[in-house]
Structure 1
Amino acid sequence: MKMTSQKMVQIIKDRFEKEAFSYDFNRKKDTLRIVDEQLQKGVTISLPGFIAKYEEKKEEALEEFFYYIKESFTAMKSTDPLKGKERNILPVIRSTSFPTESNDGIPLIHDDHTAETRIFYALDLGNSYRLIDENLMEKENWTKQHLKEMALFNLRALDTVVKKDQVAGNDFYFVRSNDGYDASRILNDSLLEEYAKKVEGDMVVAVPHQDVLIICDIKNETGYDILAQLTMSFFTSGRVPITALSFIYEKGELDPIFIMAKNRKKED
């Protein structure tokens, strides 16, 4: 039986029946907003995207979703100041469609990155994180530059776990350290330069979702087709999707590209 948005909303309500949550199902936008009544704050999800994951992963997708919702509300409850937690501040990559304000309308600290991606900054809380907004910055009297330098320093200090696969003569390196900041490693210039020195073909990178960075040594047209399939698969299955587009890396710059039927086109 086909899963519909209304059926999925009921599944979510049933699973959270013991929680003090309220729900707002927007049929026109096909979204569901879940609000913690105590916090008076909520999380909005796109139902079609979640249903697609559910149809692929079933109970595993539900468990990931419920964990994400509970941890999101835990992060919202945090009122911890930033001072003394400088080592727990890290950058996170999100799509350019990601909101630049909190649900309370407070601007989130962010920087432009590429035409497809944007940089936000987070206070890591262990099992979750809190995006840093202007209110938190004002409490510490920090500048944005100071925040950025701390975040990038902490990023470079993270261990990086890489798995290499070779397909049709092309090399694919998957950065998957499972710490929530794998996509963020696209900001580690020294890491990218390390791979730039050893690639034999085109260096292409991708961040389809927050928990993976793909670095590729593309040596033939088949490599681009394989990468296109990879990025779309990761993009549709990731808990926090970023972009299905890839990026050519040349001279320290990232340029988005479309990959279509053995042809590639740099985005204007």
Structure 2
Amino acid sequence: MKQILALVGLLVALAVHAAADVLSPEQFTEEFRAALAAAIPNATVTVAEPLHLTIKVPEREAARAFLDNAYSEYSGNPKAKADLIARYVASFAESTKGSGPLNPQQIVPVIKDRAWSKEMQRAAKARGVDGPALQVIEDLNQDLVIVYAEDTPQNIRYFGPDDLQDAGVQKEKLRALAVENLRRILPPAEAVNGPLFSMLTAGSDYVPSLLLLDEIWSGDKLKVEGEIVIAVPTRDVLLFTGSNNKEGVKKLREVARKAHADGPYSLTDRLFVYRRGKFERF
């Protein structure tokens, strides 16, 4: 019981910290800019505005680095600042090197909400790029989509239909390939069970993608009362309970809203039910 209460407390208070110990967005942006400039000596890294950098590498189109998620994550754990900045800097540095051919064995399915996809397309259009050409997307339900990406050492690289064609991957076989890669890349899924709701874990980057692994949800492995009801408020949180557990559903909805509002990498505060082999709105 103590373990579950601690879990609930962690999820509900995702960003508890002493304000005096936390850098302002402006200070964080400047510190991040200096670290990124040191990591890419041939690049000019400038501050466009707080939490927004511009990266210009010779003979390449200027890239943008948005630090909102990094700052949100840092604010929740200021003591981990050095490791966090190093991790994000490595990711941005890798992205400036350009992309090679798509590796089919590293294609993974990433669960996003529809608003994310539309925002990416708007951002691409603002840069004079055809947004749909940079994404391969499939509907999961009316709120969520599957965006296919390449899992690289430091990044998650989204690609377009031309990349898929060049790699020799047929669109009708893409989902099966990506799900099989996901099974290989992810550690085994584990459930932390509680009386009201439970949490499913498997690493951090692709936790919502567990929705695509039917073997987790079919049968009675999860031992819930009624149908399986889930929440994926952020990229690294997947919670579930049973539809007949009324208090569980109430608490799940409350925690999902709080985590979605406060946590980095927000996804959705909606609840979904597993029904006839699919997840639909609850």
Q: TM-score when scaled to structure 2?
A: 0.72
- 1:94 corresponds to: 112
> What RMSD in Å do the two structures reach over aligned CA positions?
3.2
Q: Which amino acid aligns with 1:12?
A: F
- 2:143 corresponds to: 116
Shift in Å, 1:41: 4.3
- The match for 2:45 among 16, 22, 30 is 22
Aligned length: 248
- 1:216 corresponds to: 241
Question: What does residue range 74-223 of structure 1 map to in structure 2 within 5 Å?
Answer: 74-75=94-95, 77-82=97-102, 85-98=103-116, 99-100=120-121, 105=130, 106-157=133-184, 158-166=186-194, 169-174=195-200, 176-178=201-203, 180-195=205-220, 198-223=223-248
Q: 1:238 to 1:13 in 2, by over 3 A?
A: same
Q: Percent identity?
A: 19
8 Å CA contact 1:75, 1:129 repeated in 2: no
Alpha-carbon distance in 1 for matches of 2:65, 2:273: 33
Alpha-carbon distance in 1 for matches of 2:141, 2:46: 35
Alpha-carbon distance in 2 for matches of 1:197, 1:16: 44
Alpha-carbon distance in 2 for matches of 1:112, 1:61: 36
8 Å CA contact 1:164, 1:172 repeated in 2: yes
Q: Which amino acid aligns with 1:23?
A: T
Q: Which amino acid aligns with 1:13?
A: R
Q: Which amino acid aligns with 1:164?
A: V
Q: Which runs of 5+ in 1 are unaligned?
A: 258-268
Q: TM-score when scaled to structure 1?
A: 0.75
Higher strand share: 1
Shift in Å, 1:172: 0.9
8 Å CA contact 2:240, 2:252 repeated in 1: no
> Deviations for 1:62-90, whole angstroms, at most 9, x for unmatched residues?
642541242144145353323xx432221
Alpha-carbon distance in 1 for matches of 2:83, 2:258: 20
> Deviations for 1:189-246, whole angstroms, at most 9, x for unmatched residues?
2322145774223421122222333232354332123213432454356553222222
Q: Which runs of 5+ in 2 are unaligned?
A: 1-19
Q: Which amino acid aligns with 2:142?
A: A
8 Å CA contact 2:207, 2:236 repeated in 1: yes
Shift in Å, 1:148: 2.3
Alpha-carbon distance in 1 for matches of 2:71, 2:187: 34
Q: Which amino acid aligns with 1:121?
A: Y
Q: 1:140 to 1:146 in 2, by over 3 A?
A: same
Q: Which structure has more RCO (C-alpha within 8 Å, separation ≥ 6)?
A: 2
